[in-house]
């Protein structure tokens, strides 16, 4: 079964057993986290479920910055 919602994260923060908060946070704060900071969570954006209700990139960027404490 294809699971795009669990395959797009560069640090595999989302897994079958839950969310790895620290891995996500470290990545978002780092240099390689620019795509996540500017457009939101890559896993969430890859997920086809709820795509009609996805926030615009600028709103996602605002919330990602708040999450990362930037």
Given a contact cutoff of 8 angstroms between Cβ atoms, the answer to whether 9 and 52 are in contact is no
Residue-number span of the structural domain to which 39 is assigned? 4-68
Rounded to an integer, what distance in angstroms lies between the CA atom of residue 30 and that of residue 25?
A: 9
H or E element, residue 24: helix 21-29
| 32-60 per-position pLDDT tens digit | 999 999 999 998 898 888 888 999 999 99
| 8-32 per-position pLDDT tens digit | 899 989 877 888 999 999 999 999 9
Convert 4-20 to b/e letters by CB count within 10 Å (16 or more is b): ebeebbebebbeeeeeb
Domain count, the chain: 1
């Amino acid at each position: 079964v294809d699971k795009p919602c669990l395959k797009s994260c560069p640090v595999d923060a989302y897994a079958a057993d839950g969310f790895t908060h620290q891995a996500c946070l470290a990545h978002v704060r780092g240099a390689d986290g620019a795509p996540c900071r500017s457009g939101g969570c890559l896993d969430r954006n890859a997920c086809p479920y709820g795509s009609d209700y996805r926030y615009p990139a600028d709103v996602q960027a605002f919330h990602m910055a708040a999450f990362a404490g930037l």
